[in-house]
Amino acid sequence: MASTADFRNGLIIKFKNDLYSIVSFQHVKPGKGGAFVRSTLKNLKTGKVLDNTFRSGEKVDTVRVERKKFQYLYRESDSLVCMDSETYEQMNIPNSLLGDGVNFLKESEELDILFNETEIISVEIPVFTYLKVIETEPGFKGDTATGAVKSAKLETGIQINVPLFIEEGDLLKVDTRTGAYAERVKS
């Protein structure tokens, strides 16, 4: 149990029967009335962000969350088999906890998994990943229309839009949050 005086960015609290991370907060002392804390909270399961106002000194339940590094080993039907980097224990993690990010994971990639005791709260994958283009149409000289894109299939099987100059075998930096091409990497 803590009060609003203990708020800090990243603190995990139980609010409306869900777990939220405090993204930002501001203590406000208006000329009239009592002080309050304006906060931005992020739901750890859904990722939705909401703004909420707490009365100054209001009690909130804090949750102790443990962050562990895991290595993604392989896919098994609708889950990923991952290994704890410290204990080498293997664990199946449902694809649903990763959302669309599961399509950008390569074997042996590192993940951060947040636990509340033994329950998995969320899985964080790297923001950027490096993937090789295995199939795309050739770009032709003169195809230089600004912002023109073509489809490319990456080594994980996902299709993304890339600029016309990208060729098969190129290594790309891809944003896993949006699935967008970021840049071509020199190999």
Q: Determine the topology of domain 66-124 in CATH.
A: OB fold (Dihydrolipoamide Acetyltransferase, E2P) (2.40.50)
CATH class, 2-62 region: mainly beta
Flag whether pLDDT at 38 surpasses 90.
yes
Which of the two residues, 39 and 143, has the higher pLDDT score? 39
Give the model's confidence band at 72: pLDDT under 50 very low, under 70 low, under 90 confident, else very high: very high
Give the model's confidence band at 99: pLDDT under 50 very low, under 70 low, under 90 confident, else very high: confident
Angle at 99 between CA 178 and CA 12, to 5 degrees: 95
CA 159 to chain centre: 20
What CATH superfamily is the domain 128-185? Nucleic acid-binding proteins (2.40.50.140)
> Cα separations (Å) of 164 from 144, 147, 184?
8, 9, 12
Flag whether pLDDT at 143 surpasses 60.
no
Helices (H) and strands (E) in the chain, counts: 0, 16
Q: Residue 83's pLDDT is what?
A: 95
Q: Which residues contact 119 (CB under 8 A, 6 or more apart)?
A: none
This prediction has a pTM of: 0.70
Question: Given this chain, do its domains 66-124 and 128-185 carry the same CATH topology?
Answer: yes
Is the Cα dihedral 160, 162, 104, 131 positive or negative? positive
Query: How is the chain split into domains, by residue range?
Result: 2-62, 66-124, 128-185
